[in-house]
């Protein structure tokens, strides 16, 4: 730690600890466990993850998405076992995240479609809001999913507790109103303190408080391993889904923050850090945690300079929990629900959703299906739908290949044209390909290449510039196309071939690189290798034409003149 950065990091740590009090309480309540466990998370997670995090200003804390996934994962557990189950869930999810990091899978998060992730996060935000309506109005709604619970609430408006509604609306007004002012950093804390004081002064016993839901332990729990008999296939599957959610969100957070010392951010190392944070949280009676957008932004805003800001936030939270444990039990549950609703509304990015909707039909399907799945299915199931949909969209994009014919202009440049369906005889056709040439893309190229059928000595120059490696499917397609060209006396030239691709072609031994196929290496000058291939192909055709007339005259001479 540098002494020059200590004051800023200490201030950032203190502010994050203060913000973590309402956020931690609300997240644990959302997960369906004692709200104080959210405070334990705010101690263990930053202390466990911040020392090894790559994005130095990324704050690992409770998040609404992780809390919602965790809550749904343990909802079927009996109330007395739910806390142990969520601790175990955090540890298993942390182990998955650590494995993701060790296997260097951070870069794979980029393959999750932005439309899918936006739809999922929008669905999570709506589910979060719907889940908190019941505690906001003091009525225990029932339903198979959040939509069903909303219908049950609407049908029982007359059973709402008016005092609870007043407390909830007051907290909503304070959190959302102050959030637009210079006091935004303190808005959540004020939204808890003012309703708490109101309930105490007015003596509103009908308003449920944290201590009415769960007893508040004194001091700190000792690190302990949860009950292993709670391990099940369902819990492991939920932990994997939770790890995916945390990973994708965490990568998104870490990639948006530059390190003050200029060091590059390693997404895989950040996954490892979040894994360590979750294991530490589970061992210290905490809930799952991940990279927090809001608290990371707070670190940046107050000028934090190193990962010590995250470490010190855990230290400050430890001090807070030890000094004022009794105050936590007095917080109204309606106020916590209000904070979660404000967080959910803030997570709804309607502008981004409209932008995605206007992009393409595939993007509309992606965001709609994932959003709907999140509303009607469990979050782990919705994650599965989102991952599957991302794979389908990625595979579909792999077959999005464009084939163009390049025509040489008098000034030496090339113009793009639609390729002919059939190759012309004794001419050179230059083919340019855009898009991936793996698997389906290679087959799409096979369909789009001009047919040599009926042509005489056609030549094709296929540009492969920018391809650092090719797959077995493309090699098979090229081999088959070269055979078709050879059958009519033609040739295939591959231009712009990188060294690694040339080595691949030689190792396979499928293409006849000595007779039918010619490889023209890439150069540092764009279009140079294609021009070389075109010149070589034209020269070969010229030599072929020069030989043909003599053979033709000999064949047509009368027998007596031979």
Confidence at 491, pLDDT banded by 50, 70, 90:
very high
203 with 334, same domain: the answer is yes
Segment 45-73 mean pLDDT:
92
Q: Is residue 384 a part of any domain in this protein?
A: yes
User: Per residue in 176-210, pLDDT tens?
Assistant: 998 888 888 788 889 989 999 999 999 999 999 88
Q: CA angle at residue 60 from 121 to 382, to 5 degrees?
A: 25
Confidence at 91, pLDDT banded by 50, 70, 90:
very high
Identify the pLDDT of residue 246: 92
Confidence at 548, pLDDT banded by 50, 70, 90:
low
Q: Count CB-CB contacts under 10 A for residue 545.
A: 11
DSSP state of 521: E
Query: CATH number of the domain that 448 lies in?
Result: 3.30.750.24
User: Per residue in 463-490, pLDDT tens?
Assistant: 999 898 888 999 999 999 999 999 999 9
Q: Lowest-confidence range among 130-139, 204-213, 319-328, 490-499?
A: 319-328
* 165 or 554: which leads in pLDDT: 165
Confidence at 409, pLDDT banded by 50, 70, 90:
confident
Domain's final residue, options 396, 411, 427: 396
- For the chain, what is the mean pLDDT? 87
| pLDDT value at 451 more than 70 | yes
Task: Domain count for the chain, please give it.
Answer: 2
Closest Cα partner for 311 from 8, 3, 51?
A: 51
319 with 410, same domain: the answer is no
Taking a C-beta distance cutoff of 8 angstroms, is the pair 111, 254 a contact?
no
- Residues of the chain with pLDDT > 90: what percent? 46
Rounded to whole angstroms, the Cα distance separating 89 from 245 reads 14
344 with 437, same domain: the answer is no
Rounded to whole angstroms, the Cα distance separating 223 from 46 reads 16
Confidence at 125, pLDDT banded by 50, 70, 90:
confident
Segment 75-89 mean pLDDT:
92
Segment 382-402 mean pLDDT:
80
385 with 464, same domain: the answer is no
Segment 43-58 mean pLDDT:
95
- Residues of the chain with pLDDT > 70: what percent? 96
Tokens linked to 534: 């075109």
167 with 275, same domain: the answer is yes
Identify the pLDDT of residue 200: 94
296 with 421, same domain: the answer is no
Rounded to whole angstroms, the Cα distance separating 544 from 539 reads 9
376 with 411, same domain: the answer is no
Rounded to whole angstroms, the Cα distance separating 386 from 249 reads 14
Identify the pLDDT of residue 110: 66
| pLDDT value at 322 more than 90 | no
| pLDDT value at 556 more than 60 | no
Q: Is residue 558 a part of any domain in this protein?
A: no
Rounded to whole angstroms, the Cα distance separating 189 from 183 reads 10
Rounded to whole angstroms, the Cα distance separating 105 from 476 reads 30
* 45 or 260: which leads in pLDDT: 45
Q: Is residue 561 a part of any domain in this protein?
A: no
373 with 409, same domain: the answer is no
520 with 503, same domain: the answer is yes
Domain's final residue, options 396, 422, 452: 396
Rounded to whole angstroms, the Cα distance separating 109 from 103 reads 13
507 with 371, same domain: the answer is no
Closest Cα partner for 48 from 275, 240, 219, 242?
A: 275
| pLDDT value at 554 more than 50 | no
52 with 90, same domain: the answer is yes
Identify the pLDDT of residue 553: 45
Q: Which domain holds residue 283?
A: 6-348+355-396
User: Per residue in 206-252, pLDDT tens?
Assistant: 999 888 877 777 778 889 999 898 999 999 999 998 998 899 888 87
Q: How many residues does the chain have?
A: 562
What are the residues whose beta carbons fall under 8 Å from the beta carbon of 531, sequence distance 6 or more?
Answer: 412
Q: Is residue 486 a part of any domain in this protein?
A: yes
Identify the pLDDT of residue 21: 86
Identify the pLDDT of residue 301: 75
Taking a C-beta distance cutoff of 8 angstroms, is the pair 242, 73 a contact?
yes
Identify the pLDDT of residue 512: 78
Q: Is residue 310 a part of any domain in this protein?
A: yes
| pLDDT value at 551 more than 50 | no
Segment 124-140 mean pLDDT:
87
Among 38-47, 56-65, 103-112, 213-222, name the most confident range.
Answer: 38-47
406 with 493, same domain: the answer is yes
| pLDDT value at 18 more than 50 | yes
Q: Is residue 314 a part of any domain in this protein?
A: yes
Identify the pLDDT of residue 2: 56
Taking a C-beta distance cutoff of 8 angstroms, is the pair 449, 420 a contact?
no
Q: Is residue 1 a part of any domain in this protein?
A: no
Q: Count CB-CB contacts under 10 A for residue 391.
A: 14
Q: Is residue 47 a part of any domain in this protein?
A: yes
């Amino acid at each position: 730690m540098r002494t020059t950065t200590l004051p800023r990091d200490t201030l950032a740590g203190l502010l994050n600890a203060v913000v973590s009090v309402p956020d931690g309480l609300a997240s644990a309540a959302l997960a369906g466990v004692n709200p104080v466990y959210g405070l334990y998370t705010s101690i263990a997670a930053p202390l466990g993850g911040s020392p090894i995090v790559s994005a130095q200003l990324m704050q690992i804390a409770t998040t609404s998405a992780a809390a919602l996934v965790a809550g749904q994962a343990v909802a079927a557990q009996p109330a007395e076992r739910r806390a142990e189950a969520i601790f175990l869930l955090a540890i298993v999810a942390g182990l998955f995240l650590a494995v993701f990091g060790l296997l260097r899978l951070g870069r794979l998060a980029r393959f999750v479609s932005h439309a899918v992730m936006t739809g999922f996060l929008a669905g999570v935000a709506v589910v979060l809001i719907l889940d908190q309506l019941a505690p906001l109005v003091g009525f225990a709604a029932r339903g198979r999913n959040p939509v069903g619970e909303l219908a049950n609430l609407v049908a029982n408006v007359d059973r709402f507790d008016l005092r609870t509604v007043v407390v909830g609306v007051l907290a909503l007004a304070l959190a959302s109103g102050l959030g637009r002012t210079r006091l935004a950093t303190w808005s959540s804390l004020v939204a808890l303190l003012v309703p708490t004081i109101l309930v105490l002064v007015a003596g509103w016993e009908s308003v449920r408080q944290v201590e009415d839901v769960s007893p508040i332990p004194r001091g700190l729990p000792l690190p302990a391993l949860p009950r292993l008999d709670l391990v099940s296939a369902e819990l492991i599957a939920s932990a994997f889904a939770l790890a995916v959610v945390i990973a994708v969100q965490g990568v998104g957070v870490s990639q948006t923050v530059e390190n003050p010392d200029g060091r590059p951010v390693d997404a895989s190392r950040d996954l490892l850090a979040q894994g360590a944070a979750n294991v530490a949280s589970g061992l210290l009676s905490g809930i799952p945690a991940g990279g927090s957008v809001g608290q990371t932004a707070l670190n940046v805003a107050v000028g934090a300079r190193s990962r010590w800001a995250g470490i010190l936030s855990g230290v400050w939270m430890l001090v807070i929990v030890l000094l004022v444990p009794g105050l936590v039990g007095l917080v109204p549950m309606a106020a916590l629900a209000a904070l979660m609703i404000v967080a959910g509304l803030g997570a709804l990015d309607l502008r981004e959703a409209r932008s995605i909707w206007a992009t393409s039909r595939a993007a509309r399907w992606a965001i709609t299906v994932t959003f709907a799945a999140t509303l009607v299915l469990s979050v782990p199931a919705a994650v599965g739908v989102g991952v599957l949909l991302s794979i389908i969209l990625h595979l579909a994009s792999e077959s999005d290949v464009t084939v163009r014919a390049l025509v040489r202009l008098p000034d030496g440049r090339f113009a793009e044209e639609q390729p002919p369906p059939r190759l012309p005889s004794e001419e050179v056709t230059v083919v340019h390909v855009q898009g991936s040439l793996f698997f389906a893309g290679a087959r799409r190229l096979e369909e789009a290449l001009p047919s040599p059928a009926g042509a005489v000595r056609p030549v094709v120059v296929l540009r492969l510039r920018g391809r650092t490696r090719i797959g077995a499917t493309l090699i098979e397609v090229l081999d088959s196309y070269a055979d078709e060209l050879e059958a009519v006396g033609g040739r295939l030239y591959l231009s712009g071939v990188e060294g690694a691709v040339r080595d691949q072609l030689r190792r396979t031994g499928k293409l006849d690189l000595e007779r039918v196929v010619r490889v023209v290496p890439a150069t540092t000058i764009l279009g140079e290798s294609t021009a070389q291939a075109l010149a070589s192909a034209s020269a070969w055709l010229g030599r072929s034409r020069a030989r043909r007339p003599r053979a033709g005259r000999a064949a047509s001479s009368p027998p007596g003149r031979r």
